Amino acid sequence: MIAAGTTPLADNKAEPTGSLSVALAHALKLLDARPNLAEQQALEILRAVPGNRDALLILAAAKRRMGDAQAARTLLDRLTAAHQFWPEAVCELGMARASLGDTAGALAALRRATELKPQMSDAWRAIGDLHTMRGDTAAADTAYAQQIKSSVDNPILIAAATALIDNRLPVAERTLKDFLFRFPTDVAAIRMLAEVAARLGRFGDAEPLLRRCLELAPSFTPARHNLAIALHRQGKSGDALPEIDRLLESNPGDPGLRNLKASALGQIGDYAQTIAIYADVLEDYPDQPKVWMSYGHALKTAGRLDDGIAAYRKSIAQMPNLGEAYWSLANLKTYRFDESEIAAMRSQLARTDIGDEDRLHFHFALGKALEDLGDYAESFRHYAEGNRIRRGQMDYSPEETTERSSRSAAVFPREFLELRAGWGCCAPDPIFIVGLPRSGSTLIEQILSSHSAVEGTMELPDIGAIARALGGRRRRRDETAYPELLGDLSAERLRELGEEYLSRTRIQRKTDRPFFIDKTPQNFLHLGLIRLTLPNAKIIDARRHPMAACFSVFKQHFARGQPFAYDLDDLGCYYRDYVAMMAHFDRVSPGKVHRVLHEAMVGDTETEIRRLLDYCGLPFEDGCLRFHETDRAVRTASSEQVRRPIFRDGLDQWRHYETWLGPLKTGLGDVIENYPEAPSFESV
């Protein structure tokens, strides 16, 4: 916030008077809501008192808010040259530089402002926003914590904020909970507690805290910003968008908010708007390698492959050590790296100053590049090293997955399901595709989405979110009553849950087609929930040879989730648990799940498509055979592959690596020799 002062420029004609102070205060009050009127007021003051520094600062701030950042910077360069130690002016200079796309210059000025005045809340927030736009979440978190600290003056809250800055989250959480027990309506403390929850990944806990903040203080903009992020991170982007739009009303040019809106729109499948927003942001702020990468993701998903590749290359040109941009090219599956790109990746890996996140992406990208060249030994070395790094970051227990599978089998015997036949929501709309990633699910989705009655969406998080809410589990290590509690739910409650799923997924449906696809692979873990809440939904099991499926997963780096994917032993165990779960439901609900073997789909495509459509109760349409001609957004790693006719090349690709896949074979056990059938349930 700009504060009016009383020290004039050296060339001021007169000292400020009481009426001048009133005029300056009035201009400040107008600045956020009516910057055009603030500009007029500042100009009137300058006519009366030429060179008044406070009026000049208000004038510059007004011009920036009205979109003339260059004029603002010209004024501020003069102002800060004359007043190098005036933190408000230096901060405003940083804001103007940011508006002009000069991120480095903006950060330098904003940091200088915080050195001059450590409690400058606006500067810390702007620093956090700039780091967020650059993708540096750690630096952004630190800046936002400093912003929180600078906005409070209570010693207890300052201590909590200091703990937050130092990442001593349990200390911050305990301090804030104790404080809120005594002062339950302190919105600063509530927001800080929400920040602790967000840092711990508990966005579901952060959401009600932030809503309480806004209930108490509807104009508390930082809390609204945090709420928008918390909603987006939970997959509730439809709920996040109104909050983002409300924030943009008062700050329409904010690049961080515009990026957040683009990302939220992408999550609900509105790629035309996503692409348009990213293009506008990059026109204003061209030196943003991570925004170029996000832009590339959106273009690729929408089928604009050449434009997507150009965006990824722009990202690499601006930030050569950005491993994820190289992996994004590799992840197209159809892209081939040239010798210079391979040399560049090797050069980056030889550095000692890049972090694990970039390093593992370079390893996965080089694994793909060398696989294309037929250098399988070196390719596997890179795949294995990338997986080793990522597995070390994962808190995953294969034993827990096995336990979940066993518990589900115990909860859902045939008699249990027969007793509840006809319960739940009778809508037939959803078609679930489950299985392991990289097993042909995107191909099945593309085929079905080529039918006039079926709409493709994406991997939807909603079944998993409903399961977590039912179990009351906030963290993976917490105890959960799910799935056992499903036995206690009434027919009415199960119907409500089915309707909740349809309501949550409504935003993903862009057409009036009667059926839609949810292709979240892990939903096989929730088959019981699906059968009880949506008994007329179709369930398709996309299955691929265990060695081919698991190795394809192993060489795939996933943007999120899939914690089982980064170790060959874990993969073997996970595939066995998946087979066991599906075998159980085959026995207790015969005919309810339709299995598509990837090898059969490749070998006799028309026959398999006809079987698939018969199961779904859909008439055959020729367009399903020409699925590669269907123009739609495809949001998985197979996006470019399913835009081509079916090919056999990938069926036995794993055999080039068989020498190194011993741990996977051991983990899979007799699942391999029994494929495509399952071993006996007892042995699985």
Q: Which pLDDT score, from 0 to 100, does residue 147 have?
A: 79
Q: What is the pLDDT of residues 203-255, one digit of tens each?
A: 999 999 999 999 988 888 889 999 999 999 988 999 999 999 999 998 888 88
Could you tell me the two tokens for 446?
């593309």
Cis peptide before 483 (omega within 30 of 0): yes
Q: Which of 177-186, 649-658, 671-680 has the lowest mean pLDDT?
A: 649-658
For residues 493-508, average pLDDT:
95
Q: pTM above 0.85?
A: no
Q: What is the pLDDT of residues 406-457, one digit of tens each?
A: 998 899 999 999 999 999 999 999 999 999 998 999 899 999 999 999 999 8
Q: Which pLDDT score, from 0 to 100, does residue 255 have?
A: 86
253-280 burial, b if ≥16 CB within 10 A, otherwise e? bbbbbbbbbbbbbbbbbbbeebbebbee
Alpha carbons within 13 A on the beta-carbon side of 492: 0
For residues 257-263, average pLDDT:
94
Report the C-alpha gap between 232 and 214 in whole angstroms: 17
Q: Which residues pair with 516 in a beta bridge?
A: 430, 455
Q: What is the pLDDT of residues 328-354, one digit of tens each?
A: 999 998 899 999 999 999 999 999 999
Q: Which pLDDT score, from 0 to 100, does residue 136 have?
A: 80
Measured in degrees and rounded to the nearest 5, phi and psi for residue 617 equal: 70, 30
Q: Which residue has the tokens 């403390």?
A: 189
Cis peptide before 218 (omega within 30 of 0): no
The rounded mean pLDDT for the chain is: 89
Q: Which pLDDT score, from 0 to 100, does residue 477 have?
A: 58
Q: Kindly indicate the confidence band of residue 646, based on its pLDDT and cuts at 50, 70 and 90.
A: low
Q: Which pLDDT score, from 0 to 100, does residue 144 have?
A: 79
Report the C-alpha gap between 404 and 410 in whole angstroms: 10
Residues in Cβ contact with 106 at an 8 Å cutoff, skipping those fewer than 6 apart: 94, 95, 97, 98, 126, 130
Q: Which pLDDT score, from 0 to 100, does residue 664 have?
A: 96
Q: What is the pLDDT of residues 368-378, one digit of tens each?
A: 999 999 999 99
Q: Kindly indicate the confidence band of residue 648, based on its pLDDT and cuts at 50, 70 and 90.
A: low
Q: What is the pLDDT of residues 149-174, one digit of tens each?
A: 887 878 898 999 899 988 899 999 99
For residues 347-367, average pLDDT:
96
pLDDT beyond 60 at 681:
no
Q: How far is CA 518 from CA 232, 253, 463, in A?
A: 19, 35, 10
pLDDT beyond 70 at 268:
yes
Q: Which of 189-193, 369-373, 651-655 has the lowest mean pLDDT?
A: 651-655
Q: Which residue has the tokens 């010209």?
A: 74
CB of 349 closer than 8 Å to CB of 369: no
| Closest listed residue to residue 507, CA positions, set 276, 162, 242 | 242
| Closest listed residue to residue 546, CA positions, set 519, 571, 569 | 571
- Identify the helix (H) or strand (E) that includes residue 433: strand 430-435
Could you tell me the two tokens for 591?
């005919």
Q: Which pLDDT score, from 0 to 100, does residue 337 have?
A: 97
Same topology for domains 18-195 and 398-683, yes or no?
Answer: no
Q: What is the CATH T-level fold of the domain 18-195, as seen in this structure?
A: 1.25.40
SS3 584: helix
**Beta-sheet pairing, 593-597 with 454-458:** unpaired
Could you tell me the two tokens for 626?
């020409």
Q: Which of 12-16, 373-377, 386-390 has the lowest mean pLDDT?
A: 12-16
Q: Which pLDDT score, from 0 to 100, does residue 212 have?
A: 93
pLDDT beyond 70 at 631:
no
| Closest listed residue to residue 25, CA positions, set 3, 51, 1 | 3
Domain ranges (residues) in the chain: 18-195, 398-683
Q: Which pLDDT score, from 0 to 100, does residue 6 have?
A: 36
Q: Which pLDDT score, from 0 to 100, does residue 10 have?
A: 35
SS3 207: helix
In words, the CATH class of domain 398-683 is: alpha beta
pLDDT beyond 80 at 355:
yes
Q: What's the chain's length in residues?
A: 684
Beta strands in 154-229 (DSSP E): none
SS3 517: strand
